[in-house]
Amino acid sequence: MRILEAFRAAYGDEPTGVWHAPGRVNLIGEHTDYNDGLVLPFAVPWGVTAAVSPRADGVVRLTSLQAPGKEQTVEDLDQAHGWARYPAGVVWALREAGHRVGGADIMIDGDVPQGAGLSSSAALEVAVAVALDDLYGLALPRIELAKIAQRAENAFVGMPCGIMDQAVSALGEEGRALFLDCRTLGSRTVPLDLAANGLRLLIVNTGVYHELADGQYAKRRQDCENAAKRLGVPALRDVTDLAGALARLSGDERRRTQHVVTENHRVEALVGLLRAGAVREIGALLNASHLSLRDQFEVSCPELDTAVEAAVRGGARGARMTGGGFGGSAIALVPEERQAAVRDEVLRAYQARGWAAPTFLEAVPSPGARRLR
Ligand code: GLA
């Protein structure tokens, strides 16, 4: 393992252990997590590996093979900057929650494709969280570690994300998607056997990330909170009479509400189809989710729309943007025999617009965070 060598070279000793946490794709349930809603993501084969040893002096040393020359030694966690704020934030959040966590020597290696919107940051946080949990004998439940990781990102890094990415990185299972209720944090895994149904889930990485994304994410959250307040409910999850709610709202708040409420229904419908063994029938729900994200939630972009439309033209049973939006990746549910046709159609569409070619990956539901050695 190259991370062992790197650890030895940086810190002059063997790490006490090595942990891995995956990135994710979201099958359906987009922008529902921070509305106390439902999501159905699964863990992907790529993630972040952390080799870690505890330190008695409270100091945290951080090195990443993806950030050469940017290693940091911090006594005060707030000194951490750039990439190191994610792992330092996890140490901070654990201590904040009252856990006795000392220092650590941390070496990071990751293979989540950058900018693909596959949650490399959640993978980094969760890898460090499970490592420190083991090393300091905390024995926290996985969902608690996910909450710690989310708190690190919200309060230390400053990104107001929901719980989805960290939860699935901590709780994912091979061959299964994670059906998570973001209010109760109760979850179940659901079999997602694509190959047995002659299907593949293709990731189309647009390679673009539109700058305004971060501010827009916070703005969408705010729209949703404002709408819930106007409707007198704790969260948009609680809207049961959609038509009645829409009649009381206008503009952005109305559109955001329409998306969140219908998206929660789509998650439930999709879970129902998977339980019935009807994975071939989920395409229409993926398409509907995309249209809603494009037109009502307004988080898509031309590159994502083009990928989705071309994939469907090429024979995908359904396709949608996945993750926060404004770039990153789309997913397409593709019959095995249509794989080449779908790729060709997407490549052609990008070429026709003069855009750089997107890249393709296959998403296979993979295990969640675990100790490797
Ligand atoms: C990002 C956030 C998640 C979630 C998605 C949208 O990935 O990190 O918490 O809100 O966007 O579904």
Predicted pLDDT at 60: 98
Residues noted as catalytic: 165
Report the atom number in ligand 1 closest to the C-alpha of 163: 9
pLDDT higher than threshold 90 for residue 245: yes
Question: What phi and psi values does residue 358 have, to the nearest 5 degrees?
Answer: -75, 170
Nearest residue by C-alpha to atom 8 in ligand 1: 161
CB 329 within 8 A of CB 118: yes
Nearest residue by C-alpha to atom 1 in ligand 1: 324
CB 145 within 8 A of CB 50: no
CB 358 within 8 A of CB 345: no
Separation of 31 CA from ligand 1 center, angstroms? Answer: 6
pLDDT higher than threshold 80 for residue 119: yes
Predicted pLDDT at 114: 79
As a whole number, mean pLDDT of residues 245-262 equals: 98
pLDDT higher than threshold 90 for residue 115: no
Predicted pLDDT at 212: 65
Q: Which two tokens stand for residue 276?
A: 């019935």
Instruction: For 286-346, give the DSSP string.
Output: HHHHHHHHHHTS----HHHHHHHHHHHHTT-SEEEEESS-SEEEEEEEEEGGGHHHHHHHH
| Angstrom distance (rounded) from CA 364 to CA 25 | 10
Predicted pLDDT at 210: 85
Task: Give pLDDT tens digits for 294-335.
Answer: 999 999 999 999 999 999 999 999 999 999 999 999 999 999
Report the atom number in ligand 1 closest to the C-alpha of 122: 8
Predicted pLDDT at 163: 98
* Most ligand 1 atoms within 8 A of CB, residue of 27, 30, 33 to mutate: 33
Report the atom number in ligand 1 closest to the C-alpha of 117: 7
Task: Give pLDDT tens digits for 151-174.
Answer: 999 999 999 999 999 999 999 999
As a whole number, mean pLDDT of residues 201-217 equals: 89
Task: Give pLDDT tens digits for 121-133.
Answer: 999 999 999 999 9
Separation of 202 CA from ligand 1 center, angstroms? Answer: 20
State the DSSP code for 136.
T
Instruction: For 225-267, give the DSSP string.
Output: HHHHHHHT-SSGGG---HHHHHHT--HHHHHHHHHHHHHHHHH
CB 6 within 8 A of CB 63: yes
| Angstrom distance (rounded) from CA 306 to CA 56 | 53
Ligand 1 pocket by Cβ (under 6 Å): 26, 30-31, 33-34, 161-162, 164-165, 323-324
CB 71 within 8 A of CB 58: no
Q: Please, is 158 exposed, middle or buried when counting C-beta atoms within 10 Å of its C-beta (0-12, 13-18, 19+)?
A: exposed
Nearest residue by C-alpha to atom 5 in ligand 1: 324
The larger pLDDT score, comparing residue 209 to residue 17, is at: 17
- Of all residues in the chain, the percent with pLDDT exceeding 90 is 98
Nearest residue by C-alpha to atom 9 in ligand 1: 162
- CB crowding 78-97: b at 16 or more within 10 Å, else e: eebeebbbbbbbbbbbbeee
Report the atom number in ligand 1 closest to the C-alpha of 29: 12
Give Cα 272 distance to the centre of its chain: 22
As a whole number, mean pLDDT of residues 181-196 equals: 97
Separation of 206 CA from ligand 1 center, angstroms? Answer: 17
Predicted pLDDT at 213: 67
Separation of 274 CA from ligand 1 center, angstroms? Answer: 23
- CB crowding 55-71: b at 16 or more within 10 Å, else e: beeeebbbbbeeeeeee
Separation of 119 CA from ligand 1 center, angstroms? Answer: 9
Which residues make Cβ contacts (< 8 Å) with residue 62, sequence separation at least 6?
71, 72, 73, 74, 80, 84, 87, 88, 106, 108
Average pLDDT over the chain reads 97
370 pLDDT tier (thresholds 50, 70, 90):
very high
The H or E element containing residue 223 is helix 213-231
CB 46 within 8 A of CB 30: no
Residue (of 189, 180, 192) closest to 147 by Cα position: 180
What's the one-letter identity of residue 318?
G
CB 104 within 8 A of CB 53: yes
Structural domains of the chain, with CATH:
2-174 (3.30.230.10), 195-363 (3.30.70.890)
Nearest residue by C-alpha to atom 11 in ligand 1: 324
Predicted pLDDT at 311: 99
Give Cα 276 distance to the centre of its chain: 26
CB 180 within 8 A of CB 187: yes
Question: What phi and psi values does residue 187 have, to the nearest 5 degrees?
Answer: -145, 155
Separation of 181 CA from ligand 1 center, angstroms? Answer: 14
214 pLDDT tier (thresholds 50, 70, 90):
confident
